[in-house]
Structure 1
Amino acid sequence: MRQPDIEIYLRDASQDAVTEWLNQAVGSCSAWQAKGKTFKCRAGDIPVTWLPKAVGKWHSLLLESDATPWEDDVACARDAYQAIGVEIRCAPGGWQEEETVEDADRWISVSERGEAEILWRTD
C-alpha cells in the first residue's frame, strides 16, 4: 500500500545534491524558501520540506504527497542512495501512533554496506 507521504534522513548530504536528485526523480524544483530552520520547495507538484541537521548530522527530507514515484520510504531511500551516494535512513514502514518505543527505534539503513535494519535512537 502506498504511503501518504515519504520521509527519509540523509547523512551529510548537500541541499544542492538533493535538489539535483529531486529534479531528476520527481520534477523541476522551485527555489528553496527558508521558513525558520526548515526550507520548503515544490518538486513538480509535490510540496517538499528540508530540515538540515534534524538529528545530529542527519538531514530530514519530507515529500508531502502520496503521488511520488516511490511506493514507500524504503524505495525512496534506495533511489536517493543510488543518486546521491550518502547513507540514507528511513522507517521500515508507515508510522503508527500505537507503535511501541522499540518499534519507533527500528530503521532501515541504505549505504555502501547494503541495506539493513538497524536500531537508531533519535531522541
Structure 2
Amino acid sequence: MRQPDIEIYLRDASQDAVTQWLGQTLGPCSPWQPKGKTFKCRAGDVPATWLPKAVGKWHSLLLESDTTPWEDDIACARAAYQALGVEIRCAPGGWQEEESVEDADRWMSISERGEAEILWRTD
C-alpha cells in the first residue's frame, strides 16, 4: 500500500546534492525557503521539507505527497542511496503513534554495507 508521505534520513548529505537528485527524479525544484529550522521547496508537484541535522549528523527529508515514484520510505531510501552514495535510514514501514516505543526505534539502514534492520534511538 502506498504511503501518504515519504521520510528518509540522510547522513552527511549536502542539500545541493539532494536538490539535484529531487530535480532529476521529481521535477525542477523551487528555491528552498527557510521556515524556522527547516527549509521548504517544491520538487515538481511534490512539497519537500529539509531539516538539517535533525538527529546528530542526520538530515531529514520529508516528501509530503503520495504521488512520488516510490511506494514507501524503503523504496525512496534505496533510490536516494543509489543516487547520493550516503547512508540512508528510514522506518521499515509506516509508524503510528499507537505503536510501542520499541517499534519506533526499529529502522532500516541502507549503505555500502547493504540493507539491515537496526535499532536507532533518536530521542
TM-score normalised by the chain length of structure 2: 0.99
Cα displacement (A) at 1:36: 1.0
Aligned residue pair count: 123
Query: Unaligned 5+ residue runs, structure 2?
Result: none
Paired amino acid for 1:65: S
Match for 1:95: what amino acid? W
Give the corresponding residue for 2:114: 114
> Mind listing any 5+ residue stretches in structure 1 that lack a counterpart?
none
Residues 1-53 of structure 1 show CA distances to partners (whole Å, capped at 9, x for unaligned) of: 00000000000000000001001111110000011110000000110000000
Quote the sequence identity (%).
87
**Which amino acid in the other structure matches residue 120 of structure 2?**
W
Residues in 2 aligned to 1:11 and 1:3: alpha-carbon distance in whole angstroms: 23
TM-score (norm 1): 0.99
- Which amino acid is 1:51 matched to? L
For 1:1-123, what aligned pairs fall within 5 Å after superposition?
1-123=1-123
Letter in 1 for 2:99: E
Shift of 1:56: 0.2
| RMSD of Structure 2 on Structure 1 (CA) | 0.4
Deviation >4 Å, runs of 4+: none
